Structure 1
Amino acid sequence: MLHRRTLLTTIGAATLVPAAPAILRAAETPGVTATEIRLGNTMPYSGPASAYGTIGKAIAARFKMANDEGSFAGRKVKFISYDDGYSPPKTFEQTRRLIEEDKVAALFADLGTPTNSAIQRYVNQKKVPHLFLATGADKWGDYKHFPWTIGWQPSYVTEAQVYAKYILKQKPDAKIGILYQNDDFGKDYLTGMRDVLKGNYEKQVKTVSFEVTDATIDSQLVSLQADGIDVLMTIATPKFAAQSIRKVAQMNWKPMHVLTGVSVSVGAVMIPAGPENGVGIISSAYLKDPTDQRWDNDAGMKQWRAFMAKYYPDGDLKDGGNVSGFAFTHTMLHVLAQCGNDLSRENIMKQATSLHDLENPVLLPGIKLNTGPTNYHPVRQLQLMRWTGKTWDLFGDIIEGAST
């Protein structure tokens, strides 16, 4: 069973590299022995962002699948994932445990902007690969100051730029209200909006913030409605995103509603909010939506469903978080395979920053991953979509971001 408070899972790796003699000594290569490679992770299995906990469970299951299929140069992966409750001090404590006690070779898919912010400097001082973070904060691309930290999904700044352009096209004189989480996650969206609106930002935009420890965001929404807002942007994690959708419906308020792409899970957000309450909401995607019938016969999603059925049968097939966990791990498996028998931290980081047009079975068609020594944003493309009451309907073209 997966424990809610502290998750410690031993799993395996992929068949992409044939078995070979182990030539690295554990003393020289932290987290690597002749038979295993240890990867560490923190995830909110409890607390205000616990809806994301399923991502960690999907990752663990995907590594288990890979373990059953083979190994990396004779080594299996031991995936160690601890609950941080979406609390930065707890994240720091658990990360020190992973690095100094568990002696992991690398950190992988740690979730959350405030939580990763709490450990970024420490991890880089320790020169531990901090790979493919489950957060789109733009700063994960800062290769000059933090060369050991790399993101995965599109930057929140880029995402906000796309929304701003769409809003201006649809409602050029709109009064825009932004409800945002008061941390780097929320503030990145304000930056992206400013980039597009420029001198009109102060005239067109009213912002209200909330803390992740707040009970509700009702008062903030009431104040935005009273200000005559035409376009509402909700920048929140799943719990507060669902609250926002429900409250807007209860107020019989009908603004154009734009929702951050990290909170579009049908199972974790749209259904709890009341599917009918969100009709018409605009968001964006880079992953295939498991509730969208267009992917019923898609090879990649068939692969994902087969994985879920065998390795994570208790997982919600409507929850996009389980697609995310599968996608993150697909990339990590590729990196480990590319390392061959050199699983040193330096080579792991080198391979993570050497991806070229890497395909992923659950990314939207046309989207590929690319990294380089000066490109720490692997996914730079997304597509707009609209909630129908049953699923997300993609529209428009794949849009290329240009975040730095």
Structure 2
Amino acid sequence: MRFVAKIGVVSALAVLTWPAVSLTAEMRGVTPTEIKIGQTMPYSGPVSAFGALGKGEVGYFKMLNERGGINGRKVNLISLDDGYAPPKTVEQTRRLVESDEVALIFSSIGTAHNTATAKYLQSKNVPQLFIGSGASKFADIAQYPQATLGVQAPFRYEARLYVRYALAKNPDAKFAVISQNDDFGRDYLLGLKDALGEKYDSLVTAATYEVQDPTIDSQIVKLKASGADVFVIAASPKFAAQSIRKAFEIGWRPMTFLSNVAVWISTVMEPAGLDAGVGIVSTAYVKDPDDPAWKDDAGVKGWREFMIKYVPEADLHDTNYVNSYNSAMALEHVLKACGDDLSTENILKQAYAIKDLELPMLLPGIKVNTSPTDHIPVDQMQFMRFNGKTWERFGELQTGN
């Protein structure tokens, strides 16, 4: 599947007005009328629900192009399907760089997938911006000097908050964790280790799954048998729904925390059974359009208008489209700041110089900030609890930093 935000034909006049930029600055993927960018998305495969992110981002740049683009250039977003398979991600990323000659890779989904392409992109001097992952490893500037996390708080920070919350309620709590057997799942385990320290081995029982597994019922039964009274679900939507449902069916009622990548009503809570999810705690960093608190909010109204016009086939209850809106806005900010210098060096310079950027679909008080030594755009979250119909936020903004 190939989604493309198309542009017009380069005119002779545009060629004559090519901006004066240093001849030593490579502006790959840039013409007088176009900025070409690329991404990979799981439009097929076990987590195809996340394909909504790519569809929303393509829609956003279509809207932006209709309004004149960025500094006179249209954004040509080439979005390719990788089926959520890292070897396919590598293949498609090579195509984007070597055939399509994109200026940068934007918002590609998956921790293992972005890890698999990082060294290649570094060797080609291609920025890897607003990665579709909350894995804290991408904040390691030594390993990933040309990358930024997505517009979301890191998974590791999220896990730390869950431990702190659970221990405040029950200092003797024991933890059970179901996690995806890759860097995505391991980041949550690292967060638990950070918060529990030397007690981790005695307090945590962990089980994993592979993305190809048809079911994880046996793992949930095993975790219940551990006697844990806290259950952390570090899973993608399909397996999160299975975890919630199975725990409910076998009568296990621990304090439950759900990864904030899997809080969607239509793809997780409803398939799991709304009653089964009552009381589950997660975290939010974006506005939920279904929350009555935002009924008259200008940011949510603007998002709805965008969705209806530019992604008309989408499920408006799927908050993945909110994340895509925020990510596209963040990249728009970076590209605008670049002006006519769209060299790799300047793109990275602007990506690492975001100051207090407020996005209309982030929760109030959360701002995007980066610097040359901080590649984590967002590090704050707010707790929320599922009431059987929707998520209710509570408490103040928290950071797991």
Residue 401 of structure 1, CA deviation? 3.2
Cα shift readout 1:320-357 (whole Å, capped 9, x = no counterpart):
10101111001011111111111111111111110000
Name the CA distance, whole Å, in 2 between partners of 1:145 and 1:249.
41
- State whether residues 179 and 208 of structure 2, in contact with CA within 8 Å, keep that contact through their aligned partners in structure 1: yes
Secondary structure, counterpart of 2:382 in structure 1: strand
Query: Residue 332 of structure 1: SS of its match in structure 2?
Result: helix
The answer to whether 1:43 aligns with 2:38 is: no
The answer as to whether partners of 1:12 and 1:64 remain within 8 angstroms in 2 is no
Q: 1:141 aligns with which of 139, 147, 161?
A: 139
Q: 1:321 & 1:114 partners in 2: Cα distance?
A: 20
Q: What letter matches 1:70 in structure 2? A: G
Q: Where does residue 2 of structure 2 map in the other structure?
A: 7
Residue 235 of structure 2 corresponds to 236
CA deviation vs aligned residue, 1:277-300 (integer Å, no higher than 9, x gap): 101001001011121111111111
Name 1:167's counterpart in structure 2.
166
Residue 372 of structure 1 aligns to a residue in which SS?
A: coil
Q: Determine if contact 1:266/1:291 at 8 Å carries over to the other structure.
A: no
CA pair 72-203 structure 1, distance change in 2 beyond 3 A: same
- Relative to structure 1, the CA distance from residue 12 to residue 304 in structure 2 (aligned partners, 3 Å threshold; closer, same or farther) is farther
Structure 1 residues 198-255: Cα deviation after superposition (integer angstroms, max 9, x where no partner):
1211111111111111111100000111221211111110110111111112112211
Query: Structure 1 residues 276 and 78, CA, compared in 2 at 3 Å: closer, same or farther?
Result: same
- Partner of 1:79, secondary structure, is strand
Structure 1 runs (4+) greater than 3 angstroms displaced: 24-28
The residue identity in structure 1 corresponding to 2:174 is K
CA 1:257–1:338: 2 relative to 1, 3 Å: same
- CA RMSD for the aligned pairs? 1.7
205-214 or 140-149, larger mean C-alpha shift:
140-149
Q: Which segment is superposed worse, 137-146 or 363-372?
A: 137-146
**In the alignment, what sits opposite 2:67?**
69
Correspondence for 2:296: 297
Query: Secondary structure, in 3 states, of the residue corresponding to 1:306?
Result: helix
In the TM superposition, what is the alpha-carbon distance from 1:27 to its structure 2 partner?
A: 9.8
Distance in 2, Cα, partners of 1:351 & 1:314 = 34
Q: Which residue of 2 aligns with 1:316?
A: 315
8 Å contact kept, 1:383–1:399: yes
Segment of structure 1 superposing worse, 22-31 or 279-288:
22-31
Give the distance between the partners of 1:73 and 1:62, measured in 2 at CA: 16
Output aligned runs, 1:2-151, within 5 Å: 6-11=1-6, 21-23=17-19, 28-151=26-149
**Post-superposition shift, 1:11?**
4.2
8 Å Cα contact 2:3/2:55 also seen in 1: no
Letter in 2 for 1:72: I
Match in the other structure for 2:190: 191
Q: Structure 1, unaligned stretches of length 5 or more?
A: 1-5, 14-18
Distance 1:333 1:27 in 2: 21
Aligned length: 392
Contact 2:25–2:343 (CA under 8 A) maintained in structure 1: no
Q: What is the rounded CA distance, in whole Å, between the counterparts of 1:401 and 1:174 in structure 2?
A: 20
Tell me, in whole angstroms, the C-alpha distance in 1 between the residues paired with 2:308 and 2:206.
Answer: 43
Q: How does 1:219-258 map to 2 (within 5 A)?
A: 219-258=218-257
Contact 1:12 1:66 in 2 (8 A): no
Contact 2:36–2:75 (Cα < 8 Å) also in 1? yes
How much has 1:21 moved relative to structure 2? 3.7
After TM superposition, list the pairs within 5 Å mapping 1:199-210 onto structure 2.
199-210=198-209
Q: State how far apart, in whole Å, the 1-side matches of 2:5 and 2:299 are.
A: 26
SS in 1 for 2:315: coil
Distance apart, 1:192 and its partner CA: 0.8
Query: TM-score, normalised on structure 1?
Result: 0.94
Aligned to 2:353: 354
Deviation at 1:144, TM superposition (A): 2.2
What SS does the aligned partner of 1:159 have? Answer: helix
Matched residue SS, 1:145: coil
1:96-135 superposed Cα distances (whole Å, 9 cap, x missing partner): 0000000000000001111111111111121101000111
Q: In structure 2, how many angstroms separate the alpha carbons of the residues matched to 1:93 and 1:147? A: 22
Correspondence for 2:11: none
**How many Å separate the matches in 2 of 1:272 and 1:54?**
18
- Supply the AA of the counterpart residue of 1:68: E
Q: After the TM superposition, which of the residue ranges 246-255 and 234-243 deviates more from structure 2?
A: 246-255
Between the aligned partners of 1:22 and 1:264, the Cα distance in structure 2 is: 46
State the alpha-carbon separation in 1 of the partners of residues 7 and 65 from structure 2: 3
